[in-house]
Structures are given as C-alpha cells and as structure tokens.
Amino acid sequence: YQPLNSHSSDTVVNFTVYAKQLRYMAPEWNYIAISAFVCMHWIDEGLSWTPSEYDDMTEVTFGDSEVWTPTLSVHESYNQYGVRLFSAIKTDHHGNVVWCPLVTFGLRCEMDLRDYPYDEHRCAMNISSWAHGYKVKLIGKLAKKTFDEQHPDWTGHFESMDTTEFQHPEQGADPVLRFTLFVKRNSPGYHFTVVLPCMAVSMLTLFIFWLPPSSGKKVTLGCASIIIILLIIENLKHDLGDSVHTPRIVQYLGVTCVAVAVATLVSVLVLNMVKSPMVFRPPDFLVSLLGGVVGRVMFLCPLPAPRAADHEQLADATSPLDKQDIITRQEWFLVAQGVDRLVFLLYAVFLLAYHA
C-alpha cells in the first residue's frame, strides 16, 4: 500500500524530532538509549472525505496499525526502529496525516574513554526508509535539541541534523537523515571518588622517601600504596568495563604502581645498606661527592642524630678494626640517604612530566 497523492508519485514525510530524555548510558558497551517524540506528517488522499457527507466531521483518529505508516530504520539501532509506545494517528478531511509517537532508541556509539572521567562523546543516529527507497522522501527537522530529563551521570543534547545518502549494495542510494548527539559525563562527583584518591596515593608515596633510611616502615608504606592503587583500579572497572582505549588515569595508576614497587625495592636496598654489616667501604669518590656540595644540595646529613653515639664508640675504640667498622657504617648511611634522595627526585620528575 502506498498513500495516494495526485500531485506526486512519491510520499513526502516531514520528520520532526523533539528530544525528551537521555535514558541510559553504558560507555563500556558502547551503548546509549534516548527517548524523543518523533512527529511525522504526510498526505494520503485515500483518507480524505467530504465533511458534509459525514455529519460535518473533519477529523478522525486511527490506531497506528489501522492505516499506512512509514517504515523507517535507524542504522545504529539494536532493533528495527526503536521501542515506541502506542500513539494514535490523526487525519483530517484533506488527507493530512499526523503521527507523533514517543520512541526510545537504543544506539550503538563508539565511545573513547581515554579522557575518563572528563570524557565527551558524539554519536550519530542515521534514519532512512529502506523499505520504501525513494518512494518516500524524508524531510527532517530538529525542533527541540535539549532533553527534558537528563541522566544522573550524563548531560547531552542534539547538536545538528543534516540530509545525506546511504549507498545500498542492491537498491542504490537511499536518503538518510543524520542526527548528531553530544553527551558529556557529569564530573563533580568523580573529583572525590577518582581524582582525589589518585592524588592522595601520589602524596602517600612521597612519604616513602621522607622516612629515615633506617626505618622499616618504608617497605610497609610502599606495600600499602600498591594495595590502595590496585583497589582503585578494581573500583574503576565498574565504569570502564572492557573499553577499547585505556583511560589516561588508569595508565597513570598503572605506571605509579610500578614506580612505587621500584621505590619499595630501593627501600629494601637502603635498609640493607644501613642494617646489614658491611665488610667493605663504599667507593671513595661516592662518599666525597655525597659529603660535599652535592650532599648539601640534597640536604644529606653525613652524621645523623641517631648515629651520634658512634662518636663515643669511635673515641673508646682501641682496635683499628672497630674504628673501621664504625666509619664504614657511617659512610653506608650517607650513601643510603643519597640513594633515597635520588629516587625521590626521579619520582618527582616523573609526576611533573606525566601531569605536564
């Protein structure tokens, strides 16, 4: 069945969209669901009549299954056209037909989550009349761009509408209405649930280097930081799923986890320098370097307060071996401080470079 039109062999359908609701967002599945009133108007002279012959009746209401309606397809939809609620069709005695169903579209939309949680996306919705080809001409209009009801975590609106063509492999070119939808994640809540925890972990890692070289709490703090990072990444999996692109914040957490692991291993090395008895002295050039200008720039203390008791031991020592042992311990303590400061500087440079 084709609507009757004495002026043209084609049926012109005026297609007007009124945005209603941003219903559902699932970026991890590249899925978005929206609702909109889709008002279609066309002329069907087969539904015209003379009012005087029907008690001056000028309008009639039909069910949407009782008269011809356009069969449209959304290219990105998971179903033929969308889930639409029952909506009556009104026609007047001139054959003007108006149909305004509320349609829910479930769309596929490739979403890049690299900027999570500040990501923005643009999704395309292409509507055509494959079942009718060029017998139905679509004239689109975007009457209302903003949604009346937004998603709790997302805001969005229609950006534009234009007309293009789709080259069907067998039927040739079909007219297509292309709607562009813009969506943006609402980020205020993520400042406290994602961004601030990441900053806190970075600051917590700095305490590994600020503790004394002889403190075993450095290793405990490093292991705790690694566990916290892994818990944050596990928590992010709920929002990210199996995303094609790895978000930058996850990359940062992963690299930070490796950096903390390296810092913890260095802490173990530093503890061995301080706690374990050394039978040989560190290289003389290294001791001279750290005990000179470089050491002062790095705020190294050649003889820290906890080792002041070594002065008395050194004065009371009668054996050259005892004196050598005390001096060796002091020199290794100095080297341990230098290694700590060096790793701290490398970690600080890494943080600055990554955020830059």
Look up the CATH number of the domain holding residue 167.
2.70.170.10
Of the two residues 168 and 328, the one the predictor is more confident about is 328
The residue among 42, 50, 246 whose CA lies nearest residue 137 is: 42
**What's the whole-number mean pLDDT along residues 247-276?**
85
Of the two residues 243 and 38, the one the predictor is more confident about is 38
- Look over the chain and give the mean of its residue pLDDT values, rounded to a whole number: 80
**What's the whole-number mean pLDDT along residues 245-255?**
87
* One domain for residues 92 and 179: yes
Q: How many domains does the chain have?
A: 2
Contact 212, 304 (CB under 8 A): yes
Both tokens of residue 20?
Answer: 């209603």
* One domain for residues 237 and 313: yes
Residue 61 lies in a domain: yes
* One domain for residues 228 and 332: yes
pLDDT of residue 315: 53
* One domain for residues 223 and 171: no
Of the two residues 339 and 228, the one the predictor is more confident about is 228
The span from the CA of 39 to the CA of 184, in Å, is 27
**What's the whole-number mean pLDDT along residues 124-139?**
77
**What's the whole-number mean pLDDT along residues 57-75?**
86
Name which of 58-67, 81-90, 298-307 the model is least confident about.
Answer: 298-307
State the CB neighbour count (10 A cutoff) for residue 61: 9
Residue 1 lies in a domain: no
pLDDT of residue 175: 78
Boundary (domain end) residue, out of 163, 186, 209:
186
* One domain for residues 128 and 200: no
pLDDT of residue 302: 57
pLDDT of residue 347: 81
State the CB neighbour count (10 A cutoff) for residue 226: 19
The span from the CA of 179 to the CA of 126, in Å, is 6
Of the two residues 267 and 135, the one the predictor is more confident about is 267
Q: What angle do CA 85, 91, 94 make, to 5 degrees?
A: 160
pLDDT at 37 over 80: yes
Residue 5 lies in a domain: no
pLDDT at 210 over 90: no
pLDDT of residue 304: 46
**What's the whole-number mean pLDDT along residues 78-102?**
79
* One domain for residues 167 and 280: no
pLDDT of residue 308: 46
* One domain for residues 138 and 203: no
Query: Is the four-CA dihedral 9, 14, 15, 20 of positive or negative sign?
Result: negative
pLDDT at 74 over 50: yes
* One domain for residues 243 and 137: no
pLDDT at 186 over 60: yes
pLDDT at 333 over 80: no
* One domain for residues 29 and 164: yes
Structure confidence at residue 245 as a pLDDT band (50, 70, 90): confident
Inter-helix orientation angle 320-355/309-316, to 10°: 150
Can you give the residue range of the structural domain that contains 107?
A: 11-186
Strands 31-43 and 59-62: unpaired
The span from the CA of 187 to the CA of 152, in Å, is 11
pLDDT of residue 356: 61
Structure confidence at residue 60 as a pLDDT band (50, 70, 90): very high
State the CB neighbour count (10 A cutoff) for residue 86: 9
Structure confidence at residue 167 as a pLDDT band (50, 70, 90): low
Structure confidence at residue 306 as a pLDDT band (50, 70, 90): very low
Residue 3 lies in a domain: no
The span from the CA of 43 to the CA of 97, in Å, is 6
State the CB neighbour count (10 A cutoff) for residue 258: 11
What is the chain's alpha carbon radius of gyration, rounded to the nearest angstrom? Answer: 36
pLDDT of residue 307: 45
Q: What percent of the chain is modeled with pLDDT above 90?
A: 17
**What's the whole-number mean pLDDT along residues 310-317?**
51
pLDDT of residue 170: 61
pLDDT at 320 over 90: no
Boundary (domain end) residue, out of 186, 209, 239:
186
The span from the CA of 158 to the CA of 181, in Å, is 4
pLDDT at 50 over 60: yes
Strands 59-62 and 89-92: antiparallel
**CA 228 to centroid of chain Cα atoms:** 21
* One domain for residues 227 and 337: yes
pLDDT of residue 268: 86
Of the two residues 288 and 17, the one the predictor is more confident about is 17
Boundary (domain end) residue, out of 186, 203, 237:
186
**What's the whole-number mean pLDDT along residues 183-188?**
87
pLDDT of residue 171: 60
Structure confidence at residue 305 as a pLDDT band (50, 70, 90): very low
Amino acid letter, 305: A
pLDDT of residue 135: 74
* One domain for residues 234 and 86: no
* One domain for residues 147 and 242: no
pLDDT at 321 over 50: no
